[in-house]
Amino acid sequence: NIYLATDSGGVLNDTLKYPQYNWIYDKSTRRGGILNKKSIEYSLSHGLIDGYDEGLGVIDDVYLLADTDALVGKFTSNIDRVAYQLMTGMANCYKPYFSMDSTWCFDHGLKSGRSDYGPFWC
């Protein structure tokens, strides 16, 4: 089983290439459309999305990701970093992970994160 937390319809379509795996994901999450063109702030302030539902979806993703045996994500994402911290705390050990964009960043509030796309704020 693989839990997939994504807001990309394209990523979900890519799972069809791997029928040998059982893909688990939130079918109620809206993917594509307006959310690919507008910022979350704009979408919330203009009533294009429901902030409560979006917040619950994020919390669900974080807890489900934290309850896995390993994590593949992006450590430039706060969601993935929080999920990994929660995973580590619940297991009382470091579990396997792979970051698709950057290593773990320890310098909160500094532009010291490194990725293929350049430095970023930790």
91 pLDDT more than 90: yes
- What is the pLDDT confidence band of residue 1, given thresholds at 50, 70 and 90? very high
- Residue 121 domain-assigned? no
Read off the pTM: 0.78
3-state helix, strand, coil in the chain (%, to 5): 40, 10, 50
Q: How many residues appear in the chain? A: 122
pLDDT number for residue 33 = 59
Average pLDDT, whole number, for the chain? 85
- Residue 19 domain-assigned? yes
- Residue 115 domain-assigned? no
- Residue 120 domain-assigned? no
pLDDT number for residue 103 = 78
pLDDT tens for 29-73 read 665 555 667 888 888 899 988 889 888 989 999 999 999 999 999
- Residue 13 domain-assigned? yes
Number of separate domains in the chain: 1
Non-local CB neighbours of 79 within 8 Å, separated by 6+ positions: 5, 58, 61, 62, 65, 73
115 pLDDT more than 90: no
- The whole domain housing 57 covers 2-99
pLDDT number for residue 97 = 94
- Residue 110 domain-assigned? no
Average pLDDT score over residue span 107-113:
68
- Residue 42 domain-assigned? yes
- Residue 28 domain-assigned? yes
